[in-house]
Amino acid sequence: MKKKILACLSLMIMTAAASHAQNDELIRYGNFEKWITRNIEESSILGGAKKVLMEVGPNETINGNKAYKNRGGSPWATSNVYAKVVGIVKTNSSVYQDQHDGGSCARLETHIEKCKAIGLINITVLAAGSLFTGEMLEPITGTSNPMSKMSMGYPFTKRPKALKFDYKVKIMDEPNRIRETGFSKTKEIAGKDYPCLTCILQKRWEDKDGNIHALRVGTAVHRFKESTGWKNDQSFTINYGDITKEPFFKSWMGLISGETVYYALNSKGKNVKIIEEGWADANETPTHALVKFDSSFGGAYIGTPGTTLWVDNVRWSY
């Protein structure tokens, strides 16, 4: 009888675990087991280095200095970019394929990128690692307004309870961050650097002039404020509707405004600002989802070199 009871309990536990797993939906390629390898040669005036950029998508190798577009139905883009400015080819790599639990994961790292050409330029730029649903619009042709080179989000019409993933964090000991644009003196920015998650669901529409408007349907925004080893199967609740009166609300969880500007491609193929006009009703259905991981939270050219975020198995939970 005891054996029968134990067998019954084991079956119940297995069934519950299977049912739980069925309520999770992996974002396509979100287990980061497949990567595209891009082999690019920088201009000879910069030393002609051969660089490797990694993208999330079907296992594939792309040789040559070619602009990248998402492949294999992958919704993911990265801050790894191929730039071509006045004929000079330069790359930046801040998202890498790494190892986790016998498989692959993504590693996002904040670092200093140097660009040196004798007699012409000698600059350093702080570059954070960014992994997001959307597209990077290559080739990059300038350093101004980096967000305008990114089309953010992908079509999505479900209402998940949470975003789940595995993560690991490395926080640096520096009490403040730096702002390093390459065209002005290094500036110290108050406050410690942290990696962050931005997950927002929006109801978007386009007006007759091609402007993209949106209401915020769901929100899960988090800053990782301590170094940690791998934490698997972590859940981040998506809160629906206006969250400004909730006790957990912080200003950086609010609507897109001020210096925080996101862009998306409109029906005419032009990348335009997403005008987030307000909060949707709590029972509204989204049209788009934006999931974005950053190794530094402060925006373009701001952070602390060495700050690192690892992520794996990114999925919706219902």
Q: Which of 32, 18, 294 is nearest to 152 (CA)?
A: 294
Q: Structural domain boundaries of the chain?
A: 29-317
Q: How would DSSP label each residue in 75-135? A: -EEES-EEEEETTEEEEE--EEEEEETTEEEEEEE-EEEEEEETTTEEEEEEE--EEEEEE
Banded pLDDT at 121 (limits 50, 70, 90): low
Question: Does domain 29-317 bear CATH number 3.40.50?
Answer: no
Q: Which residues are 23's β-sheet partners?
A: none
pLDDT at 309 over 60: yes
Q: How would DSSP label each residue in 121-147? A: EEEEEEE--EEEEEEE-SSB--SS-GG
d(CA 187, CA 183): 11
> What would the pLDDT profile of 159-191 be if each residue is shown by its tens digit?
999 999 999 999 999 999 999 987 778 999 999
> What would the pLDDT profile of 186-242 be if each residue is shown by its tens digit?
999 999 999 999 999 999 999 999 999 999 999 999 999 999 999 999 999 999 999
